[in-house]
Every structure is written in C-alpha cells, then in structure tokens.
Amino acid sequence: MKVEHIGIAVKSIEEAIKVWCDILGFKLEGIVEVESQGVRVAVLEVFNGVKIELLESLTSDSSVARFLSKRGEGLHHICFEVKGIEKILLTLKSKGIKLIDKSPRAGALGNKVAFLHPSSTNGVLVEIAEAGSLKV
C-alpha cells in the first residue's frame, strides 16, 4: 500500500492555500465539491506522488465540521492506495479491523474508497482507495 494523500481539516480553503501553496510551495491541482459528503476539497501535489487534501466543510453536520468543532484544524486522515479494495475490506474485517464502510463508496474523485474506524487503527482515520482513476 502506498500513501495516496493526507487529509487536513481547515476552516477556509482560501486561507489554507495561502500557507500550503503560497508559502510552503505545493501546487494546487484543483478544487472539487463533494456534496454527498458535505465537503469542499483542494488537492495539492507533493513531490513524490503523495497529495495533500485541504478539507473544508460545506455544512454544519459533515464529518469535517464535527472534527473542526471537536479538535480544531489539523491532520484528519491518511489515504492508502490499494488494488482489490473489496477483498481487502473482507480481509481486514476478518482480522478484527472495525470498518466505517463495509463496502466501497464513491470518493471525492469518483474512485472507490472506504474508511476504517479509528478505534481499530490507533486513533487514525484510515481511508483506502482503489488504484487508478484518482484524477481531479
């Protein structure tokens, strides 16, 4: 599994871009709205193929809104790219990993994704995403 992206919860994408792009120098690939999840996502490119996703909430009850309300801005999740997501979910479940998504759903960029529950992974929200078609 390789790291596909790191998600960061932010209050305002526009303000965060001033830091992560204008100062730290990451390239903005695009901004997408994912209404089904109530988030707006800015995708930044990092040198070794890893992306950073800046996540802004579009609604007051999205998971990003709840995170911001509880913890403030900060690291939200890691996404690993996998091949054969359905089989991997079954394997992880059989080994005792608690799943948020028992079967894949459509991710921000149209690909198949699933989240593992942080209670099984040392407090880390882990996303797995099927390799391929991860384009903005």
Q: Where does this chain bind its own copies (CB under 8 A)?
A: 1-3, 6, 8-10, 16, 19-20, 23-26, 46-50, 54, 71-78, 80, 92, 95-97, 118, 120-124, 126
Q: Which is nearer to its own copies, 7 or 107 (CB)?
A: 7
d(CA 27, CA 42): 10
Q: How far is the CB of 126 from its own copies (least distance, A)?
A: 8
- Residues near 108 by Cβ (< 8 Å), separated by ≥ 6? 32, 34, 37, 39, 41, 53
Q: How far is the CB of 9 from its own copies (least distance, A)?
A: 8
Q: How far are the Cα atoms of 65, 82, 83, 84 from residue 131, in angstroms, in the given order?
A: 28, 6, 6, 8
Q: How far is the CB of 27 from its own copies (least distance, A)?
A: 11
Q: Which is nearer to its own copies, 14 or 106 (CB)?
A: 14
